[in-house]
Amino acid sequence: MLSLKRFFLPAIGGALLAGAILPAAAQEKYPTRPIEFIVPWGPGGGADQLARKVAPSLEKELKVSLPVINVAGATGQTGLNKMLTQPADGYSISIFIADTLAVLMDPATKWKLEDLVPAGVMIRQPSAFFVAVGSPLKTWKDVEAEAKKRPLKVGVTGFGSADDLTVIYLNAKGLKFQSVPFPKPAERYTAILGGHADILYEQLGDVKSFLEGKQMRPVIIFADQRFPAYGDVPAGREVGHDIVINQFRSITMKTGTEAARVRAVSDALAKVAATDDYKAWLRDQYAEEASFIPAAGALAFMKRELETMRKYAPKK
């Protein structure tokens, strides 16, 4: 009996140890189930367009589904907080854009950039002021002249956003603009078409259908030089407005997510960004051709963008 114990006990212990190790090893594989893809803005805008563009390709690369969920509100913070309250396991990712980054200039903001791990910056675009084609404001000179007489309403994504910073900057230069927040892109677009706002702050590619449909037109593009597709529209710098906060849209994960899981998503995004189809989409969106920044450089890029925003933020 003693010899049997000597034989079976080590065997049983070894089996138990193997049983403990195997599940842990199995957990290393990622992903094994659907990944929630959060868009912190309403349907139809640039953030939503990006998610719905890359999700099918990501599904092919990662071999799991990525259901897109729109969670709008608070300049993108409502959706961001939804991701941040999930476990740091890589099964909840979120679009993160320049407008939400700008909120960090408010010291009361309850999250910080270090709470996020960017998997990649996917698109970078210039921003502009647009008016409805039927508006009496035909040019930037018209807008400036009118903004010296009365406050012009500007449709923006939210208070504290890059949009709002531009409005604050222009007000400090003696013009009169009033930010009117619309978290849902469709509301923002219809606001100027319906006469509820005078001006829209947006990216050229996001409203391309309205531009091609002759419903909107840009009056100023906030950039260092004129944009080729709209050579008759002045760049901000040439008319004395140096503020240039280009829109970027990235895909982020929660800090604490295993590096291998972040790398898996970043590598998949790199493959998507390298396709001819995605490059054609960037051109169609009037975006920078070299928009993609992988995880290794994305956080440093965001920190630089935040410092640029701080230059234009009102002093508190």
Work out the pLDDT band at 316, boundaries 50, 70, 90.
low
| Helix (H) or strand (E) run with residue 124 in it | strand 116-125
- pLDDT tens figures, 136-145: 999 999 999 9
Q: Can you state the angle between helices 259-273 and 295-312, rounded to 10 degrees?
A: 80
Report whether 234 contacts 101 (CB < 8 A).
no
Residue with tokens 């508190």: 316
Of 3.40.190.10, 3.30.70.141, 3.20.20.70, 1.10.1740.10, the CATH number of 127-239 is 3.40.190.10
Of 3.10.20.30, 3.40.190.150, 1.10.260.30, 3.40.50.2000, the CATH number of 36-124+247-312 is 3.40.190.150
Cα 274 to Cα 277: distance, rounded to the nearest angstrom = 9
- The pLDDT assigned to 297 comes to 96
Which residue(s) pair with 73 in the sheet? Answer: none
β-strand pairing of 36-39 with 92-97: parallel
Q: Is 151 helix (H, G, I), strand (E, B) or coil?
A: coil
Phi, psi angle pair for 96, to nearest 5°: -135, 125
Q: Is 187 helix (H, G, I), strand (E, B) or coil?
A: helix
Q: Give the residue, 215 or 315, on which the prediction is more confident.
A: 215
β-strand pairing of 68-70 with 36-39: parallel
Cα 126 to Cα 203: distance, rounded to the nearest angstrom = 6
Which residue(s) pair with 132 in the sheet? Answer: 216
Residue with tokens 């970027």: 248
Which residue(s) pair with 235 in the sheet? Answer: 221
- pLDDT tens figures, 96-121: 999 999 999 888 999 999 999 999 99
Of the CA atoms within 13 Å of residue 190, those in its CB half-sphere come to: 6
- pLDDT tens figures, 230-251: 999 999 999 999 999 989 999 9
Task: Compute how many other C-beta atoms are within 10 angstroms of the C-beta atom of residue 137.
Answer: 20
- The pLDDT assigned to 298 comes to 96
Domain spans of the chain, in order of start: 36-124+247-312, 127-239
Prior bond of 31 cis (ω within 30°)? yes
Q: For a pLDDT cut of 70, what percent of the chain falls above it?
A: 91
Prior bond of 56 cis (ω within 30°)? no
Report whether 112 contacts 268 (CB < 8 A).
no
- pLDDT tens figures, 30-69: 999 999 999 999 998 899 999 999 999 999 999 999 999 9
**Within this chain, domains 36-124+247-312 and 127-239 share the same CATH topology:** yes
Task: Compute how many other C-beta atoms are within 10 angstroms of the C-beta atom of residue 13.
Answer: 10
* Averaged pLDDT score across all residues of the chain: 91
- The pLDDT assigned to 71 comes to 97
Cα 135 to Cα 216: distance, rounded to the nearest angstrom = 9
Cα 220 to Cα 250: distance, rounded to the nearest angstrom = 25
49: left (phi over 0), alpha (psi -120 to 50) or beta: alpha
Terminal-to-terminal C-alpha distance of the chain = 82
- pLDDT tens figures, 128-167: 999 999 999 999 999 999 999 999 999 999 898 889 999 9
Task: Compute how many other C-beta atoms are within 10 angstroms of the C-beta atom of residue 16.
Answer: 10
User: Is a pLDDT exceeding 60 seen at residue 1?
Assistant: no
